[in-house]
A and B are shown apart, each in its own frame.
Chain A
């Protein structure tokens, strides 16, 4: 039992003290038995307050401290550090959350908030009294990482991790690397093509001897935890052997003879493709592949090239990694049929389709046999939805649409661009592109929030109608031969990864980080990090920044050979245990085993496997199991303090 306890009540500037009478809480805490000192502080987390606590612990010989401030998610480690620096065991520190779960939650009823704070602090003191000295466990970690998704973000993280000395396995679900960027021509801000960026990164990956790339690969299963994940990879066959030295001419012949034809996803259905394919000559890896879903295994291509092997089998591969980094990226929003005429009016396409069209049309922009003269860009399709689910702004689309419109103008000169916007968001330096588009003669219009742009057919013409804010709410109609829906970003469909890794997903369906400022690339699952557009809509530079941030976090997490973990472990009282195997049965980590000594059978916890979930606690018929940090006496004394 601890009996020299120090209590600190934080004002948090005014976040707490505006609603909770901190002085009163402090005074009542001071009267509690075994509390030696009780103080208030403006910011408990400030250095001066921390130093004061250290002095107090030393001078008053405190054997436990309680800080009532914000959520332990923010500052548990801050104050555990304070305890340590003062020579106190960090587990004799108890954090009480009187901000998120008290002053803010009950800001409408300050007196009751104060009452609640008092009880919460008393419960914290009760817990501190029962707190034990514990040593964190150190578990070994392998300095290797699995990067999921070989788009620009994933490849970039892989390269930097390799430079830092971490071994990298990078897997790509598709048969070619580059993700979305490979589909784009010139990219905004630098005008480098997506393809150039991808080939630069691919070549660096090939040079590095500590990066292994698998295409056509998925995660099949995962066991283990941070520092030591065992991941089983499923590598689907490419049906073309790696030593294929197929030249482009021979490949073209193989494509010619292939009898299967279907909509080409690389060109968003603008063209057809064969079952044997490669999307463009310099696509990486340089070996073509066969789309097994469409292939009829007729064998005609095999006759032309003996490196094609239609009997290749799926392979499974086990790897051991210390961390997993998800860079699974995004997809363009797919408009619903009839949304701004999509799939109902023949000349309505998405921005992504337009980008492909620009690349496929050298001299004139031709769509469905017709030379395009006027393009209408309809913004915020699938983003900022008033009625739909996607409330968020997709961030990149304004700039991307404007950049594309500039490319259109530069390449085809005579085309007129009309932008039907909801307010242009070319933030930062991207503003220069907006300026440039306006200067080149593009027309920008803006619809009212309650009266969206309409696309319809009239007398054989496709018409886009807007009530325009910028011309004092005049109704304008534009006859156009191409309507481009500026579609936003949605996360890629990753059901199997989500099931296996259990990464939390936010309201916007993107992966959720712990905190956008404090821990922007980490998830609540230790050792599983996220980066790039799987986390939120981002452009390429922003994705790379986030993936590099994740790279440096991964490296510092797993590169030291060991990771310190909470000593939260289940403990079994041998004397009380009558081995019934219920605990071993429910343990998800196979951490409980039977032991026999002097004819008595009892359960034993294998500490390296125990993750401290406590699932075994309630199933024990003789209450023989205690979870360190959550023992009966700790929980029950807190309950008593709360109800007092």
Chain B
């Protein structure tokens, strides 16, 4: 059982960036108005931000990191470790973290690499970086977590198109001998790998000429083989089955009660799913912040983005006990019990529209 802990590590700064371009799901004319309203109310996503073709996840992460460097007076030379958690990397190779290291003036004596996880990525990222820092040989890490999921959804697929938004975040983790231990429960289940997947473009199914051709997958759903496939019911079943027990096991292991925590930050999957999980854990609504309504499902960025957007004042002014829980693509899921101690947390940054007036979905699908 992957219940693990790290010591001597604390979060000192957190920032999040979203693209300026906003898409309102009320404009999604592929489905009739009545059904559109039911969809928006059920998934909880009304507006979301889209990066278009000119802004990458790494651009937004970089902007968030540079804001932290300036607010915290961090010199890039202090950074020992850069990890970029993302499923939308700049290039097939090399790792985007290494490209970013150079762009941000972080010294070549640092480690830099990518972790291609999605919904669970922030929790895993904290564990990976925390484990590398806790011995004190590396002192300061930059954890960049972000995705551009709208790039891989088909406008003609209502099972994915209305769900996702784009965002990039940055977290500073530091070695700190006085920090409280951080506890994780991390899990994976490859039996469900197909439930959320992009079938072609990797080495298992090499890109071919017809990979870009839109095909009717089932009535009302058209996409190509580079676009995201999501089995709604299977993912729903998985999340209802696994997330609450994962958190309960973690709490039992560290002898805590659900009420010992100030906030529960869940991956922003969809409202129906998150609310069902909240009720299973008997959590009061005020303990469970949401950003689904304004930013949609922002993949690995959803937990840090929700922290910045919804509990920024508390993070800056108070000491908090938090549960963060990410779950989805992989299948991969995990929770962490972490205490924060007055961290630097500037408000959500907007990445200016770079003159890309036509969001990418119109180019590829219409």
Question: Is chain B found bound to chain A in the same assembly?
Answer: no
